[in-house]
Amino acid sequence: MIGVFDSGFGGLTILRGYLDKLPEYDYMYLGDNARMPYGNKSQDVIYGYTKEAVDFLFKKGCEIIIVACNTASAKALRKIQEDYLPKNYPEKRVLGVIIPVVEDTVKIKNIKCVGLISTRATIESGTYEVELKKLAPDIKIYKQACPLLVPLVEEGWVKRPETKKILKKYLRPLKDRNIDALILGCTHYPVLIKDIKQIMGKRVRVLDSPKIVAEKLVDYLKRHSEIEKRLKKNKSITFYTTDDEKRLKEVGEKFLGEKIDSVKKIEL
């Protein structure tokens, strides 16, 4: 199975991307809703939460896990990959959502100036900036924390005029900088991508994170046949949450774009 882990609902946009590109595989989704948001937690706490989620998904039969949470990808993924996996699951893999988007960003022709919107925690981690500078040292990066967007999306206010006004306020400083591309550094934000594109205008390339991450997984599995061969292909999806099953089902369907039949509650 392919495991997808997030602190809440946003990772379902990433799962949606996988279902579009790789529909034949079995998936397992885990939302740590009881302990969200991760953005106000310390790096040690986030690492501990991520490690527990990785353990759970591997023990349930996952061969590869995608940490579909920008905060966990920024603050815990490297340590999971470099320290935890070699000692505990040497034949399995854990991937994140930041590197694929960064790699696609720097491939944009004549890219000079990039905007980033995300949670405060992801911006404060500096991960996007570090990874972008590795591949494109001269690139200019402008960042904007958007703390109100996650709760607005989760409350179903996507099409409300209030949300669009707040979105315009957040995006205005980046638009004024004449950025060439915009990175959506939170997995909730693709739900708002139509409005974001409209506000930013045709000149700005808005990176579609779920699509990019899914395409990278397609490529990864082609290059790692030893993992791909172990993946089951029954088109099944299992959903787990650490909080209310009904809420994950109701809110999650808005992110996934399709019906969620059942959700199981677990403790980590």
Q: Which of 62, 69, 113, 146 is catalytic?
A: 69
Q: Rounded CA gap, 183 and 268, in Å? A: 31
Enclosing H/E stretch for 265: strand 264-265
Angle, vertex CA 69, rays to CA 257 and CA 195, nearest 5: 50
What's the number of CA atoms in the CB half-sphere (13 Å) around residue 240? Answer: 17
Rounded to whole angstroms, how far apart are CA atoms 207 and 205? Answer: 6
Q: Is 186 an annotated catalytic residue?
A: yes
Does the annotation count 113 as an active-site position?
A: no
Q: Which residues contact 100 (CB under 8 A, 6 or more apart)?
A: 212, 213, 215, 216
- Residue 222 to residue 67: CA distance in whole angstroms: 20
Amino acid identity of 15?
Answer: L
Which one of 62, 113, 146, 186 is the catalytic residue?
A: 186
State how far the Cα of 137 lies from the Cα of 141, in Å rounded to an integer. 11
Structure tokens at 264: 């199981």
Q: Which residues are catalytic?
A: 69, 186
